[in-house]
Amino acid sequence: MQLFDEGLHSGVNLALKVDKILYRDQTDLQDLMIFENKNFGRVMSLDGSVQTTEKDEFIYHEMFVHVPMLAHGNARRALIVGGGDGGAARQLMKYRDIAVTMVDIDRTVVELSRKYMPSVSGGAFDDPRLDLVIADGCKFVKETDETWDVIIIDSTDPHGPGEVLYTQEFYSDCKSCLTPGGVIITQNGVPFVQEEELRTSYQRLGRLFQDVSFYLAAIPSYVGGIMAYGWATDDASLRKVSLSTLAARYVEAGISTDYYTPEVHKAAFALPLNIQKALTRDE
């Protein structure tokens, strides 16, 4: 029996049975593997770390997209940095009046996601409202003169090609292309095993934005428990939108979800005490 043994966090491993390898190769930037697993369906890993699976990606991507979109309430332009599997783009395409720019550094990830995991992107790559740019996301946000209402940083963990997407400079450049009252969402890993990364992002974003926090969701294929999404905006009212308003926006948008609800949205911002303490703990 072949096992995929993820050792992303020292001493904490995720082992998945590999029923069939569909693709395995080294791209120009990273080691990419796609395989089948009975419980998670098709699984994509980069540099030995699980990025997404067919069976639980809906949780990750719905919370990534619908929390900022429905909190904002009037977003018409969205930017995805990373997100080569197309899952975030698919969720954004559920909104009628949306234009999306997606910037990913690795074309191979996009192409293989389309080929081997088409259900994740759900046709988003063929939607004329999506502008796909193959480029370095850091360089893109530094040089662009465009602005967006919602920026989703769907990055890998802070090592390898994704490491630069957690820097103070990158966050500052993202803010420069955010419309007034816009919101930035980051992938901030699993606090139980990535507390330092969580605290570092909190401090760096806190130097730039008036309202910085995190919200949580449990993704079964991410080892270590609940994962955190970073939240940063200068409009503190966005995090305080009432349940009734969220519910009305959800109905008006006409979107279909399998995990997200307005109630889950509100509850996700209730941080457990250990995470609250971690954010203020001295280095």
Q: So what's the pLDDT on residue 4?
A: 72
Residue 159 neighbours by CB distance under 10 Å = 12
95, 116 Cβ separation under 8 angstroms: no
From 106, 154, 157, 173, active-site residue: 154
Contacting residues for 224 by C-beta, under 8 A, at least 6 apart: 9, 12, 190, 192, 193, 194
Report how far apart, in Å, the C-alpha atoms of 195 and of each of 37, 134, 188, 239 are: 29, 31, 9, 23
Active site residue 104: no
Question: How is domain 57-280 classified at the CATH fold level?
Answer: Rossmann fold (3.40.50)
Does 113 have pLDDT greater than 90?
yes
CA distances from 96 to 88, 93, 202, 254 (A): 15, 7, 33, 9
Residue 102, C-beta contacts closer than 8 angstroms, at least 6 positions apart: 79, 80, 83, 88, 89, 130, 131, 132, 133
Q: Choose between 26 and 200: higher pLDDT.
A: 200
Q: Per-residue pLDDT tens for 36-70? A: 999 999 999 988 888 999 999 999 999 999 999 99
- Can you tell me which residue has the tokens 């998945």? 16
- What's the burial of 115, exposed, middle or buried (CB within 10 Å: 0-12/13-18/19+)? exposed
Number of Cβ within 10 Å of residue 189's Cβ equals: 26
Top-level class of domain 3-52: mainly beta
Per domain, the residue ranges of the chain are: 3-52, 57-280
Paired tokens of 243:
């349940």
| 166-221 pLDDT, tens digit each | 788 999 999 999 999 999 999 998 998 888 889 999 999 999 999 999 999 999 99
| pLDDT tens digits along 82-104 | 999 999 999 999 999 999 999 99
pTM of the full predicted structure?
Answer: 0.93
Look at residue 27 in the predicted model and tell me its pLDDT. 72
CA distance 263 to 249: 13
